[in-house]
Structure formats: C-alpha cells, structure tokens
Amino acid sequence: MNNVSGIILSGGKSSRMGQDKCELVYDGKTFLNIQIDKMKKVGITDIVVSGYRGTNCSEKVIKDDLMDGPISGIYLGLKNIKNDRAYITSIDTPLIGENIITDLIKKSFELNSDIIVCRHNNKIEPLIAIYKTNIIDIIIKQIDINDYKLMDLLSIVDCKYLDIDDNIYEKEFLNINYKDDYNKLLAR
C-alpha cells in the first residue's frame, strides 16, 4: 500500500452542516483524524488534505484556491502526492471501512484503470475511489471549460467500478451533510 497516496477532500463550505465537518467528533475522534487513521491502517503513508481550513492537522495541507468543488480538490491533491495513484475520500464519509479501501487499491493495480470507483446499489461514489495522476491534464481541461461534474470526468477516462454488496456494507456509505445526519450517526 506504500505505492498509493491518500487525498482527503475537506474544502467544502459545510453550509448544510453549519460547522466545519472536519472537526465533527465520532467515537472520540474528529472526522479528519478518522480518515487519516484509516489510511494509515491500510499502509498509506503519503497523505494530503485538500482544502482544510483548520489548524490541527498532522498531514500535508493543500490550500484550494480554485474552489471549483471536489474536482479542484482532486486536481490539487493529485499534483501534490508522491505516488502515481491515490485513494480519494471526502471528509463526510467517516464509516468507510479499511476493507473497502484495500479492495479499491487491489482492483486499481489489477485493472490499472485511470479511476476505480465504488458502486453500491447502482449508486456511483466518485469520492470513494482510486484516481491516477495520469489524468491531471484531463482534469484541468474540465476545469478550464467550467465542467466540474465528476460524472463527466468518469465518462471520458478509463473508469472501472468496484461493486460493493449493499447488504454487508450499506451503513459505510452514510454521508454526513446535515445536522440530522450527524445526530443519527451519534445515536448509533
């Protein structure tokens, strides 16, 4: 896993949550530290955090001056990693398990596609994926034409999917965007 970097996307405004999601606490850890710890547990040592505005981060922080949504965070992250591919995740999916990360990484090396994306119940999760650095120029072209949709990016590169059994992993894809989502998470 040392051949894979990690990129945590944390540049959102958290306007729906009303506070920075990086600093939300679950099970005694901030969402940011949960993501960092998971990456380290699977052997990822080169980790960058894109768009983090806080002051308490143990990893390399990349300022997102573009602020064009997740695509700019991915672009900036890919430009600042040591390896040719990275596990990408957003700050607001704290329950994704190490087994899914490991499976994504294995599939990335097996297929050698530009992007390997999690898919569950036919729902595509472009922010739980492996992206390779060879698509940086394609991403910047998308940004230049103001096309920030990750689904458009997936359609123009070599993208494959890791299909996840929903019956086993459904709760792991919980996305914490609103206070109600966070309260439900805390009530588990």
pLDDT in tens, 34-52: 999 999 999 999 999 998 7
Domain positions in the chain are 5-187
**pLDDT above 90 as % of the chain:** 65
Residues 176-183, mean pLDDT to the nearest whole number: 86
**In this structure, is the dihedral angle defined by the CA atoms of residues 34, 36, 40 and 42, taken in order, positive or negative?**
positive
pLDDT band at 133 (very low <50, low <70, confident <90, very high): very high
Q: Kindly tell me the number of DSSP H helices and DSSP E strands found in the chain.
A: 7, 9
**174 vs 185: CA distance, rounded Å:** 9
Whole-number pLDDT of residue 15 = 59
pLDDT band at 64 (very low <50, low <70, confident <90, very high): confident
pLDDT band at 167 (very low <50, low <70, confident <90, very high): low
pLDDT band at 18 (very low <50, low <70, confident <90, very high): low
Domain 5-187 sits in which CATH superfamily? Spore Coat Polysaccharide Biosynthesis Protein SpsA; Chain A (3.90.550.10)
**12 vs 122: CA distance, rounded Å:** 25
Burial of 119 (0-12, 13-18, 19+ CB in 10 A): middle
Q: List the alpha helices (DSSP H) in 42-149.
A: 70-79, 98-111, 136-144
The whole model's pTM is what?
0.93
Which tokens in the block code for residue 154? 């997936």
Closest listed residue to residue 154, CA positions, set 175, 172, 129: 129
For the ranges 58-62, 65-69, 88-92, the one whose mean pLDDT is highest: 88-92
Half-sphere exposure of 86 (CA within 13 A, CB side): 31
Higher pLDDT, 134 or 178: 134
**From start to end of the chain, where are the E strands?**
5-9, 25-26, 29-30, 47-50, 60-62, 85-90, 115-120, 123-132, 159-164
Residue-wise pLDDT tens digits, 139-154: 999 999 999 999 999 9
